Homo-oligomer: A and B are copies of this chain.
Amino acid sequence: MEQIRNVIKNMINISDDEMKNLLSFCFIKKFKKKEILSHPGVIPSEIFFINEGIIRVLVNDPAGDEHTIHFALENQFIADYSCFIQHQPSLYTLQALEAVICVVMPRSVIEWGYRELKQGDKLGRLIAEFYFIYQDNRINNQYIRSPKERYNSITQVFPNIHNRVPQHMIASYLGITPIHLSRLKKEND
């Protein structure tokens, strides 16, 4: 629990007692490569914190095709946070792309944190703000940058992604076909 402790400590002031209590409600869980952490249609009951490995978030469109909408890396929180907040059935699938070791924070822990931690709401605010900024940047890029430009700068958001994720998932994340990404790479030379 060393990693999550450090991440939280960097965001809020929290006493050793508070931290001990908070983490006593959490537990470690491991997933094999390709395993599903969270299925669509189920109301999310937990948030994951990644100690090791990489997780992709994907959604299926009405035609049944998969779209990779996000990658989550080490030391990040991940969930279908939108549905988690709204107590709604999840739209997304969370899948381990490598063997994953993560900390599971059940919903009851989050709620306990908001109630009992002095800076619980602040922690929630900072995390929501963090992902808001990430999304804002994404949406902005969608308007002002071409797929090629977005491809060329993807490592700024996901360092080392090219060595950890198949190219066709990156294409999917960029909103283009793998064939088209192949073409764009060729142009780059």
Contact = CB atoms under 8 A, between A and B. Distances in A.
Nearest to A173: B143
Instruction: Please tell me the size bucket of the interface on A.
Output: 20 to 34
A140 B86 contact: no
A156 interface: no
A110 B142 CA distance: 30
B132 A135 contact: yes
A157 interface: no
A42 to B, nearest CB: 17
A129 B126 CA distance: 10
Interface in A98-155: 114, 119, 121-122, 124-125, 128-129, 131-133, 135-140, 142-145
